[in-house]
């Protein structure tokens, strides 16, 4: 038995058989690889391959001495070098049923928005150039007009994301002063956006009022003092306090703020622009403006269905102050974002168009029959492939039991935490491997498919699988299931 510290005879032999980095790089098989990636990268890759093997040998792993020849080692070096240049960001299929899935990139852009991004990327543009005057212009101007037209706000500004929008508002109006927030609204979103932390980095002083479940207008009233700069209302996007609750609506808050000369800011989170029955209870930008909020912030890539962005609308004087703050420069959006956002917002001019062209809205409003048909299409395609494979091998057992079931999907993106949308799923129960193994294999297919596991079944939710992706889901699943019948693909 090899000792824990001293390598045994077999290990010593293996270590001696390892070539040096220099010897490995000179392997004849690597000539083409050096030509492709350059000698520096290949030397680095050779070093990491040898180090990895040395560690494996010392750890007592079973290693075939034949694998240490120049051929197999050269192949490992080539693979390691190639992996450095492989894109790490990969398209995948979202079969989770969570529509605005932050970990999976939130919103898929509308075709119009994709085209606009490509155009903006491929050419110079009048990004900050006024074509009429022939001199410097402002990048904000490209997007202000349409946001103002759609929301009815006096002015608008777009920054990198909604977290930046909130930070900017706090820095411009609350720095060194007091900002009053209800204890029921001290939210954390996505693990890193926490109202108290954002407040601290803006150097605004947080003044908490009320309790977790009840905050009244009188609580705000009592807390307003000479140092109060802002009443901040935060939409509790990803949770709901139920039971004995009381919160102060934005119109009461705005009334109080205006009476006492304090700015009222409403962080809406998702921000809804379109009339969607499914989203009835999510606060809309129009409602917040009508209620009298001075400044409203919301995300571009949540329920709006556009690119990552933070949209700020509100009273002209406040928006101008925000535009002029040095921090706004550090949060400015890129031309591709502006192009995608403009194209997405253009679709909102005709609400029925927004519902069909913007994937996030289309997924949220897709009729039951269409969802069921897509789940059945997945199941039928999969059964056909599996039956074919079982027949060809003369085997009786199928690799999985396939079904179609009703299920519920979620909006995601921290919107409507309790809302469950009725959906249809294709369910897969593998016979020869565990459902966790199946899920793991599906993360390795090209493209990967991410489903959800429920009661030992893998569920593929039709709501978030794009209509053109059904074939790819079937191919990925049959590949993942067939791997267990010994036929490696
Ligand atoms: C999502 C959310 C944010 C953060 O928005 P990002 O666009 O992810 O930066 C801030 N506030 C609320 C209420 C949210 O729901």
Q: Does 269 sit in the ligand 1 pocket, CB within 6 Å?
A: yes
Q: Ligand 1 pocket test: which of 269, 293, 295, 416 has the largest number of ligand atoms within 8 Å of its C-beta?
A: 269
Name the percent of the chain lying above pLDDT 90: 66
CA 143 – CA 175 distance, rounded (Å) = 28
Q: What is the CATH number of the domain that holds 470?
A: 3.90.1150.180
Q: Ligand 1 pocket test: which of 160, 161, 299 has the largest number of ligand atoms within 8 Å of its C-beta?
A: 299
Q: How far is the CA of 162 from the centre of ligand 1 (A)?
A: 5
Q: Is residue 89's pLDDT more than 80? A: yes
pLDDT computed for residue 273 by the predictor: 87
Residue 104 lies in a domain: no
Residue 366's nearest CA partner among 273, 278, 471 is 278
Residue 106 lies in a domain: no
Instruction: Answer yes or no: do 259 and 399 share one domain.
Output: no
Question: Which atom of ligand 1 is nearest the CA belonging to 193?
Answer: 4
Q: Does 247 sit in the ligand 1 pocket, CB within 6 Å?
A: no
Partners of residue 408 on adjacent β-strands: 422
Q: Does 297 sit in the ligand 1 pocket, CB within 6 Å?
A: no
Within 8 A by CB and 6+ apart from 424, the residues are: 368, 371, 372, 374, 375, 376, 404, 405, 406, 407, 461, 462, 463
Instruction: Answer yes or no: do 309 and 391 share one domain.
Output: no
Q: Is residue 484's pLDDT more than 60? A: no
End-of-domain residue from the set 313, 329, 357? 357
pTM greater than 0.85: yes
Instruction: Answer yes or no: do 28 and 46 share one domain.
Output: yes
Q: Is the model more confident about 67 or about 174? A: 174
Residue 6 lies in a domain: no
Q: Is residue 413's pLDDT more than 80? A: no
Residue 36 lies in a domain: yes
Number of domains in the chain: 3
CA 222 – CA 96 distance, rounded (Å) = 46
Residue 326 lies in a domain: yes
CA 170 – CA 204 distance, rounded (Å) = 7
Residue nearest to atom 2 of ligand 1 (CA): 269
pLDDT digits over 337-360, tens only?
A: 999 999 999 999 988 889 999 999
Instruction: Answer yes or no: do 351 and 387 share one domain.
Output: no
End-of-domain residue from the set 316, 333, 357? 357
pLDDT computed for residue 414 by the predictor: 61
Domain of residue 19 covers 11-85
Q: Does 298 sit in the ligand 1 pocket, CB within 6 Å?
A: no
Q: How far is the CA of 200 from the centre of ligand 1 (A)?
A: 17
DSSP 437-462: HHHHHHTTSSS-EE-EEETTEEEEET
Q: Taking residues 405-433, what's their average pLDDT?
A: 83
Instruction: Answer yes or no: do 119 and 252 share one domain.
Output: yes
Residue nearest to atom 15 of ligand 1 (CA): 269
Torsion of CA 478, 479, 482, 488, to 10 degrees: 170
Residue 337 lies in a domain: yes
Instruction: Answer yes or no: do 291 and 274 share one domain.
Output: yes
User: Sorting pLDDT into bands at 50, 70 and 90, what band is 391?
Assistant: low
DSSP 127-168: TTEETTTTEE--TTHHHHHHHHHHH--SEEEEES-HHHHHHH
Instruction: Answer yes or no: do 308 and 408 share one domain.
Output: no
Q: How far is the CA of 234 from the centre of ligand 1 (A)?
A: 10
User: Sorting pLDDT into bands at 50, 70 and 90, what band is 230?
Assistant: very high
pLDDT computed for residue 488 by the predictor: 42
CA 94 – CA 358 distance, rounded (Å) = 16
Q: Does 303 sit in the ligand 1 pocket, CB within 6 Å?
A: no
- How does the average pLDDT of the chain come out, rounded? 90
Query: What's the N-to-C CA distance of the chain in angstroms?
Result: 37
End-of-domain residue from the set 333, 357, 381? 357
Instruction: Answer yes or no: do 377 and 269 share one domain.
Output: no
pLDDT computed for residue 396 by the predictor: 42
Residue nearest to atom 12 of ligand 1 (CA): 269
- 31 is written with which tokens? 């000539």
Partners of residue 422 on adjacent β-strands: 408
Question: Which atom of ligand 1 is nearest the CA belonging to 238?
Answer: 15
Q: How far is the CA of 70 from the centre of ligand 1 (A)?
A: 53
| Residue written as token pair 């919103």 | 107
Lowest mean pLDDT among 39-48, 86-95, 239-248: 239-248
Instruction: Answer yes or no: do 206 and 150 share one domain.
Output: yes
Top-ranked range on mean pLDDT: pick from 23-32, 315-324, 379-388: 315-324
Q: Does 235 sit in the ligand 1 pocket, CB within 6 Å?
A: yes
pLDDT computed for residue 190 by the predictor: 67
Residue 103 lies in a domain: no
Q: Ligand 1 pocket test: which of 168, 189, 296, 297 has the largest number of ligand atoms within 8 Å of its C-beta?
A: 189
Q: How far is the CA of 424 from the centre of ligand 1 (A)?
A: 29
Q: Does 423 sit in the ligand 1 pocket, CB within 6 Å?
A: no
Instruction: Answer yes or no: do 349 and 445 share one domain.
Output: no
pLDDT digits over 137-153, tens only?
A: 999 999 999 999 999 99
Q: What is the CATH number of the domain that holds 226?
A: 3.40.640.10
Q: How far is the CA of 152 from the centre of ligand 1 (A)?
A: 22
Instruction: Answer yes or no: do 59 and 125 share one domain.
Output: no
Q: Is the model more confident about 489 or about 443? A: 443
Instruction: Answer yes or no: do 206 and 264 share one domain.
Output: yes
Residue 263 lies in a domain: yes
């Amino acid at each position: 038995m090899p000792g824990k510290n001293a390598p045994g005879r077999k290990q010593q032999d293996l270590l001696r058989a390892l070539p040096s980095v220099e010897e490995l790089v000179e392997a004849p098989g690597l000539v083409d690889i050096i030509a492709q990636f350059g000698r520096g990268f290949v030397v680095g890759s050779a070093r990491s391959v040898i180090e990895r093997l040395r560690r494996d040998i010392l750890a007592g792993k079973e290693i075939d001495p034949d694998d240490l020849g120049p051929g197999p080692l050269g192949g490992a070096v080539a693979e390691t070098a190639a992996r450095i240049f492989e894109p790490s960001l990969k398209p995948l299929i979202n079969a989770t049923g969570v529509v605005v899935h932050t970990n999976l990139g939130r919103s898929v852009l509308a075709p119009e928005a994709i085209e606009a991004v490509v155009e903006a990327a491929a050419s110079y543009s009048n990004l900050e150039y006024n074509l009429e005057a022939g001199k410097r212009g402002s990048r904000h101007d490209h997007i202000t007009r349409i946001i103002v037209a759609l929301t009815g706000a006096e002015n608008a500004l777009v920054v990198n994301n909604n977290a930046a929008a909130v930070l900017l508002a706090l820095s411009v109006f609350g720095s060194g002063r007091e900002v009053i927030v209800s204890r029921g609204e001290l939210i954390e979103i996505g693990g890193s956006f926490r109202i108290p932390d954002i407040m601290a980095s803006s150097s605004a002083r947080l003044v908490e009022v009320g309790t977790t479940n009840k905050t009244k207008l009188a609580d705000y009233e009592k807390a307003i003092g000479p140092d109060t700069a802002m009443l901040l209302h935060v939409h509790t996007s990803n949770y709901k306090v139920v039971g004995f609750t009381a919160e102060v609506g934005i119109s009461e808050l705005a009334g109080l703020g205006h009476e006492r000369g304090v700015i009222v800011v409403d962080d809406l989170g998702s921000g809804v622009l379109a009339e969607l029955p499914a989203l009835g209870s999510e606060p809309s930008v129009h409602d917040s403006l009508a209620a009298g909020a001075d400044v409203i912030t919301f995300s571009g890539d949540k329920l709006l269905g556009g690119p990552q962005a933070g949209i700020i609308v509100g009273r002209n004087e406040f928006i101008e102050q925000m535009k002029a703050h040095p921090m706004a420069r550090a949060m400015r959006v890129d031309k591709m974002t502006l192009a995608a956002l403009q194209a997405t917002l253009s679709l909102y001019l005709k609400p029925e168009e927004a519902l069909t062209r913007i994937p996030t809205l289309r997924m949220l409003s897709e009729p039951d029959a269409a969802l069921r048909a897509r789940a059945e299409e997945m199941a039928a395609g999969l059964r056909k492939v599996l039956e074919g494979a079982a027949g060809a091998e003369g085997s009786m057992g199928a690799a999985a039991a396939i079904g179609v079931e009703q299920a519920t999907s979620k909006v995601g993106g921290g919107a409507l935490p309790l809302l469950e949308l009725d959906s249809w799923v294709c369910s897969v129960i593998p016979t020869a491997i565990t459902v966790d193994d199946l899920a793991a294999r599906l993360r390795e297919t090209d493209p990967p498919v991410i489903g959800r596991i429920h009661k030992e079944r893998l569920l593929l939710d039709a709501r978030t699988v794009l209509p053109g992706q059904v074939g790819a889901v079937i191919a990925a699943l049959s590949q993942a299931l067939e791997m267990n019948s010994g036929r490696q693909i």
